[in-house]
């Protein structure tokens, strides 16, 4: 160096590579982004994981897509014959093809896809993708709702009318007891892990339900080692113990759930006021007044009974004189207690493998260490009984009375903004065409989400109509959905497929046009609120680019706005002006773009968390919950009216050694899976610093199970399911049940720098777990796929069957 000054800049930012969105500081040396470190002054910035630290490597990776590409060879050819084209040509072609499809087959024939905002920076732009989809006229968004969000956001609506725990997040800073169920924040959400560690330090209890003793499970008391897919049995058993011991919030249950409502013994309907009172309103429910020894009506419009709730009976049966004669009726709570009573801890032990004593201990801990804050995730989402399972856990949680209390699960306030997805742009007629709505009217399609399986069926078989186009922002569909080969066939069958990404994934390989996207560190993005606490929610931040866009890459938002313009939808997109769009979004907050640009660390808008919002007055009574009855619906008539059990139930996973004894001999083991600490989903195997310490796909297996099969630590093994087999390296794990193994999905990419191989997504040498996991039979309500409880066998790789 000859005295030339090195310029070093530290820039406040955040890492959007996963759901944690950790506050960070970027180091830029002579204009080059060189490092990312934690920013403890940021509400999610206590720590940074290895992936965040690898951000500069991701940005600079030689395999990044730099130019728009057009396929020149037919689909299915070994080499797509990619040809570089200009942005103008790309955008004009895309717009023309999409317009043609919309005109000839209706805009619903075009599906929009997005990588999950939990595993990519699509959180920056996914709402704008929805706005484009709405303006275009398609009711179909393909973004893993059935695998990743249903159990946290949409299934809880049946119970709470609110997304609990998806939006009602655990108030970890104040919780007395933290319950993590099928969720491992040490891998998945660092900001939750650090907050939990702090909570444990101040004496909070932790209960973890997980087949593996990983992450914080080693600090849990107790850790419940559940057999994959049997979580509902465990939840019902815990609830049974709580009811039997009186370990539940009687007052909350009476006042805020539909536990007192009477259920008719003859037709299992909730009794209505017009059944018992001559001039009764058919929309009013009926409970039993213990003091007056008579039925009383409940008016859902005002959320009120004609007597004080403390007088309502929860147990026993009553002979009620109705217009149809005397009918024996029971309160919901009595039926619920009966249902749970079938799952005594000794019975549950036989199903779940969790010792009866541990069930009692966990129930006691939950009750005695209130307030309880909980979170559930992938372990429960990717199951053929996902809806009933989260209903059972919701019921258990309702009994604690901790919803929306300090230290429970709280809807933290948000900075006021204008919503940007603008659902009003999509007509009711178009909405009704969502793929899957006819088959599963209560499922994700009701909210415009299309499941992987429904998309594949529409693309390949044309049912209920043919999906012909796909506008996909990242989603690595063939690697991330089960039945990868079917995914390939579906994408191949499309008339037109455009894919925007940073890297050429196995999904991108099947596109007609590929668009190069900037990494999160090359583009501006607006973040309003960081979710996990009041302080986090109050922060508004505009991420500053710390590197120049690679090649011709553009951000997803820029692509959305440019496409909208070419499609003639510019009027809904501020005529292409992203700044104007953000200003519109921010307007109610009082924060301006200038302010945000002036301070990359962001602006804090003071917020105050209100608790027990359900008790706030609203019209004639309390606000209650957004369910048909305004009460937490332990008993769901909505589900019953669709032929589903109104009370949460345990259903054995549809493909398990018990439910499929015909498969059990060939596939005696249960296969589940988990995320990798060092990679996001199917990404990052090409990043040397991440891949080096975790060079190969792993299969966790109990040492005894391995020993019986002649398998030692580190051996290559074959994971065989009814769909075929893939490879992985054995990792012995004595904490696993001998009948359970745990694999990793997402392995395809090579790492040239370390000379580590890729694995073909399809075929005999594949390591793609989803090649041998089926999307069906799925949850009857949501279509959730059984990726976390399949059947398999494990053999040494070289063994000839």
Q: Which stretch binds ligand SF4 (CB under 6 A): 43-51, 336-344, 646-654, 687-695?
A: 43-51
What is the crossing angle of helices 578-586 and 556-566, to 10°? 110
How many residues form the binding site for ligand SF4 (CB under 6 A)? 11
Report if residue 613 touches ligand SF4, rule: CB under 6 A.
no
Q: Is position 569 an interface residue for ligand SF4 (rule: CB under 6 A)?
A: no
User: Does 193 contact ligand SF4 by CB under 6 A?
Assistant: no
Alpha carbon distance 333, 248 (integer Å): 12
**Contact pick of 247, 285, 503, 561 for ligand MGD (by CB under 6 A):** 503
Q: Is 183 in the site for ligand MGD (CB under 6 A)?
A: yes
Half-sphere exposure of residue 648: CA atoms within 13 angstroms, side-chain side: 35
Q: Residue 459 is inside which H or E element, if any?
A: helix 452-461
DSSP one-letter code for 626: S
For residues 721 and 698, what is the distance between their CA atoms, to the nearest angstrom? 16
Tokens describing residue 274:
């017009």
Q: 21 is in the binding site of which of Mo ion, ligand SF4, ligand MGD, none (Cβ under 5 to 8 A by kind)?
A: ligand SF4
How many Å separate Cα 408 from the centre of its chain?
A: 20
Q: Which is nearer to ligand MGD, 128 or 298 (CB)?
A: 128
Rounded to whole angstroms, the Cα distance separating 425 from 248 reads: 45
Instruction: Give ∠ CA 348-349-350 in degrees, rounded to 5.
Output: 90
Evaluate the omega torsion of the peptide bond into residue 464 and state whether it is cis, within 30 degrees of 0: yes
Task: Verify binding: residue 750, ligand MGD, rule CB under 6 A.
Answer: no
CB of 675 to Mo ion, least distance (A): 8
Answer yes or no whether residue 681 interacts with ligand MGD by CB under 6 A. yes
- The residues pairing with 790 across neighbouring beta strands, listed in sequence order, are 671
Shortest distance (Å) from residue 558 CB to ligand MGD: 11
Q: Which positions ≥6 away from 602 have C-beta within 8 Å?
A: 12, 42, 527, 539, 540, 541, 542, 596
**25 to 28, 33, 39, 346, 481: CA distances (angstroms):** 10, 11, 6, 52, 35
Binding mask 102-131 for Mo ion (x = CB under 5 A): --------------x-x-------------
- Total length of the chain: 801
Question: In the complex with ligand MGD, which residue's Cβ is closer, 491 or 787?
Answer: 787
Residue 672 binds which entry of Mo ion, ligand MGD, ligand SF4, none, CB below 5-8 Å type-dependent: ligand MGD
By the rule CB under 6 A, 115 interacts with ligand SF4: no
d(CA 510, CA 723): 22
52 binds ligand SF4 (CB under 6 A): yes
- Exactly one of 11, 24, 90, 115 binds ligand MGD (CB under 6 A); that residue is 115
Residues 470 and 451: their CA atoms lie apart, in Å, by 14
Pairing of strands 8-14, 110-114: unpaired
Residue 766 contacts ligand MGD per CB under 6 A: no
Of the candidates 387, 683, 766, 778, which one interacts with ligand MGD according to CB under 6 A? 683
Give min distance, CB of 187 to ligand SF4, in A.
Answer: 9
Rounded to an integer, what distance in angstroms lies between the CA atom of residue 801 and that of residue 118? 40
- List 262's β-bridge partners, or say none: 331
| 118 forms part of the interface with ligand MGD (CB under 6 A) | yes
> Judging by DSSP bridges, how do beta strands 141-142 and 372-376 pair with one another?
unpaired
Residues 696-735 binding ligand MGD (CB under 6 A) are none
154 vs 190 by CB, closer to ligand SF4: 190
The window from 339-347, 372-380, 610-618, 715-723 that contacts ligand MGD (CB under 6 A) reads 372-380
Which residues in the 653-672 window bind ligand MGD by CB under 6 A?
672
- Say whether residue 68 binds ligand MGD (CB under 6 A): no
Q: Residue 273: helix, strand or coil by DSSP?
A: helix
Nearest to residue 427, comparing CAs of 105, 683, 139?
139
Residue 639 CB partners (closer than 8 Å, separation 6+) = 158, 442, 645, 646, 781
Does 51 interact with ligand SF4 (rule: CB under 6 A)?
Answer: yes
148 binds Mo ion (CB under 5 A): yes
Q: Does residue 18 interact with ligand SF4 by CB under 6 A? A: yes
The option from Mo ion, ligand MGD, ligand SF4, none interacting with 733 (CB < 5 to 8 A, set by class) reads none
Task: Please report whether residue 192 would count as binding ligand SF4 according to CB under 6 A.
Answer: no
DSSP state for residue 151 in the 8-state scheme: I
The encoded tokens of residue 719 equal: 């994971």
The answer to whether 116 contacts ligand MGD (rule: CB under 6 A) is yes
DSSP string, 670-722: EEEE---TTS-TT--TT-HHHHTTS-S-EEEE-HHHHHHTT--TT-EEEEEET
**Which residue in the shown chain puts its C-beta closest to ligand MGD?**
379
Query: Among 234, 260, 264, which Cα is nearest to 388's?
Result: 234
Number of residues in contact with ligand MGD under rule CB under 6 A: 66
- Residues in the interface with Mo ion (CB under 5 A) total 3
Closest residue (Cβ) to ligand SF4?
52
Kindly tell me which of 20 and 674 has the beta carbon lying closer to ligand SF4.
20
Q: Which position among 11, 15, 91, 525 is part of the footprint of ligand SF4 (CB under 6 A)? A: 15
Picked from ligand MGD, ligand SF4, Mo ion, none, the partner binding residue 48 (CB below 5 to 8 A depending on kind) is ligand SF4
Please choose which of ligand SF4, ligand MGD, Mo ion, none residue 15 contacts, taking the beta carbon within 5 to 8 angstroms, the exact cut-off set by kind: ligand SF4
Contacts of 49-52 with C-beta under 8 Å, sequence gap 24+, read: 49/20, 49/22, 49/190, 49/677, 50/677, 50/678, 50/689, 50/690, 51/15, 51/17, 51/18, 51/678, 51/679, 51/680, 51/684, 51/690, 52/15, 52/17, 52/22, 52/24
Which residues within the stretch 510-539 sit at the binding site for ligand MGD (CB under 6 A)?
517, 520
Q: Which of residues 118 and 385 has its CB atom nearest to Mo ion in the complex?
A: 118
Query: Is residue 787 at the binding interface for ligand SF4, with CB under 6 A as the rule?
Result: no
H/E stretch holding 472 reads strand 469-473
748 class by beta-carbon count within 10 Å (0-12 exposed, 13-18 middle, 19+ buried)? buried
Per CB under 6 A, 500 contacts ligand MGD:
yes
From the list 758, 769, 763, the residue with the least C-alpha distance to 794 is 769
Q: How far is the CB of 674 from ligand SF4 (least distance, A)?
A: 16
- In the block, which residue shows the tokens 């399986």? 453
Residues 197-226 that bind ligand MGD (CB under 6 A): 209-212, 214, 226
Which position among 68, 379, 443, 549 is part of the footprint of ligand MGD (CB under 6 A)? 379
410, interface contact from Mo ion, ligand MGD, ligand SF4, none, CB < 5-8 Å by kind: none
Query: At a CB cut-off of 8 Å and minimum separation 6, what does 792 contact?
Result: 667, 669, 670, 671, 719, 720, 721, 741, 772
Question: Scanning residues 20 to 39, which ones bind ligand SF4 (CB under 6 A)?
Answer: 20-22
Task: Write each residue from 141 to 180 as x if it is in contact with ligand MGD (CB under 6 A), else as -, in one continuous string.
Answer: ---x--xx--------------------------------
Contact stretch for ligand MGD (CB under 6 A) within 244-252, 339-347, 496-504, 608-616: 496-504
Q: Could you list the residues that contact Mo ion (CB under 5 A)?
A: 116, 118, 148
Q: Could you list the residues that contact ligand SF4 (CB under 6 A)?
A: 15, 17-18, 20-22, 48-49, 51-52, 190
Q: Could you list the residues that contact ligand MGD (CB under 6 A)?
A: 18-19, 115-116, 118-122, 144, 147-148, 181-184, 187-189, 209-212, 214, 226, 228-229, 231, 377-379, 382, 473-476, 479-480, 500-503, 505, 517, 520, 556, 672-677, 679-683, 742, 745-746, 769-770, 773, 787-789
């Amino acid at each position: 160096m000859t005295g030339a000054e090195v310029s070093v800049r530290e820039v406040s930012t955040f890492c959007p590579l996963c759901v944690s969105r950790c506050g960070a500081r970027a180091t830029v040396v002579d204009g080059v982004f060189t490092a990312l470190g934690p920013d403890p002054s940021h509400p999610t910035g206590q720590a940074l994981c290895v992936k965040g630290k690898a951000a500069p490597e991701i940005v600079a990776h030689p395999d990044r897509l730099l130019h728009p590409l057009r396929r020149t060879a037919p689909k299915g050819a070994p080499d797509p014959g990619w040809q570089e084209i200009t942005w103008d040509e790309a955008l004009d072609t895309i717009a023309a093809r999409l317009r043609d499809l919309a005109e000839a087959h209706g805009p619903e024939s075009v599906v929009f896809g997005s990588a999950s905002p939990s595993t990519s920076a699509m959180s920056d732009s996914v709402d704008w993708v929805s706005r484009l989809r709405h303006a275009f006229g398609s009711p179909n968004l393909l973004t893993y709702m059935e695998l990743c969000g249903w159990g946290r956001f949409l299934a809880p609506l049946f119970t709470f009318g609110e997304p609990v725990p998806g939006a009602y997040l655990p108030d970890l800073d104040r919780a007395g007891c933290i319950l993590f169920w099928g969720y491992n924040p040490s891998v998945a959400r660092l900001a939750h892990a650090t907050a939990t560690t702090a909570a444990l330090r101040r004496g909070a209890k932790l209960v973890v339900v997980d087949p593996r003793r990983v992450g914080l499970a080693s600090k849990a008391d107790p850790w419940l080692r559940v057999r994959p897919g049997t979580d509902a049995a465990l939840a019902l058993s815990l609830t049974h113990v709580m009811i039997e011991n009186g370990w539940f919030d009687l007052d909350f249950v009476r006042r805020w759930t539909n536990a007192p409502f009477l259920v008719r013994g003859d037709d299992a309907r909730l009794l209505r006021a017009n059944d018992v009172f001559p001039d009764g309103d058919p929309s009013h429910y009926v409970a039993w007044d213990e003091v007056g020894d008579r039925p009383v009506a409940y008016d859902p419009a005002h959320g009120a009974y004609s007597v004080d709730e403390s007088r309502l009976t929860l147990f026993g049966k009553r002979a009620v004189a109705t217009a149809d004669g005397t009918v024996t009726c029971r309160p919901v709570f009595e039926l619920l207690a009966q249902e749970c009573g079938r799952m005594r801890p000794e019975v549950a032990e036989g199903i779940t493998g969790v010792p009866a004593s541990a069930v009692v201990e966990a129930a006691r801990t939950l009750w005695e260490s209130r307030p309880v804050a909980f979170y559930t995730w992938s372990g429960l989402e990717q199951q053929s009984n996902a809806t009933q399972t989260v209903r059972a856990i919701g019921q258990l949680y309702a009994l604690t009375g901790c919803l929306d209390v300090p230290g429970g699960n709280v809807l933290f306030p948000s900075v006021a903004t204008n919503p940007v997805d603008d659902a009003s742009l999509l007509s009711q007629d178009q909405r009704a065409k969502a793929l899957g709505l006819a088959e599963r009217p209560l499922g994700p399609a009701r909210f415009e989400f299309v499941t992987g399986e429904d998309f594949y069926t529409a693309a390949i078989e044309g049912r209920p109509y043919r999906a012909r186009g796909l506008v996909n922002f990242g989603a690595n569909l063939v690697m991330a959905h089960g039945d990868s080969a079917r995914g390939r066939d579906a994408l191949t069958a499309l008339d037109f497929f455009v894919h925007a990404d940073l890297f050429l994934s196995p999904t991108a390989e099947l596109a007609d046009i590929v668009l190069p996207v900037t990494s999160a560190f090359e583009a501006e993005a607006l973040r309003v609120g960081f979710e996990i606490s009041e302080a986090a929610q109050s922060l508004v931040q505009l991420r500053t680019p710390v590197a120049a866009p690679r090649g011709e890459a553009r951000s997803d938002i820029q692509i959305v706005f440019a496409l909208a313009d070419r499609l003639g939808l510019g009027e809904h997109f501020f005529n292409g002006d992203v700044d104007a769009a953000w200003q519109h979004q921010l307007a109610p907050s009082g924060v301006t773009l200038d302010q945000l640009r002036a301070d990359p660390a962001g602006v804090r808008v003071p917020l105050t968390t209100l608790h027990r919002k359900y008790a706030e007055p609203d019209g004639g009574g309390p606000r209650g919950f957004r369910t048909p009855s305004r009460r937490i619906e332990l008993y769901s008539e909505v589900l019953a009216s669709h032929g589903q059990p109104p009370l949460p139930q345990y259903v054995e996973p549809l493909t398990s050694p018990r439910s499929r004894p015909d498969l059990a001999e060939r596939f005696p083991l249960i296969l589940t899976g988990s995320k990798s600490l060092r990679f996001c989903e199917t990404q990052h195997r090409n990043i040397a610093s991440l891949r080096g310490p975790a060079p190969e796909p792993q299969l966790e297996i109990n040492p005894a199970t391995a020993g019986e099969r002649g398998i030692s630590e580190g051996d290559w093994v074959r994971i065989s399911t009814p769909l075929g087999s893939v490879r992985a390296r054995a990792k012995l794990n004595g904490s696993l049940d001998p009948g359970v193994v745990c694999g990793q999905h997402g392995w395809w990419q090579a790492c040239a720098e370390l000379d580590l191989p890729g694995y073909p997504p399809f075929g005999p040498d594949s390591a793609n777990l989803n090649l041998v996991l089926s999307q069906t039979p799925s949850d009857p309500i949501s279509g959730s796929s059984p990726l976390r409880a399949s059947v398999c066998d494990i053999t040494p790789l070289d063994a000839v069957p």
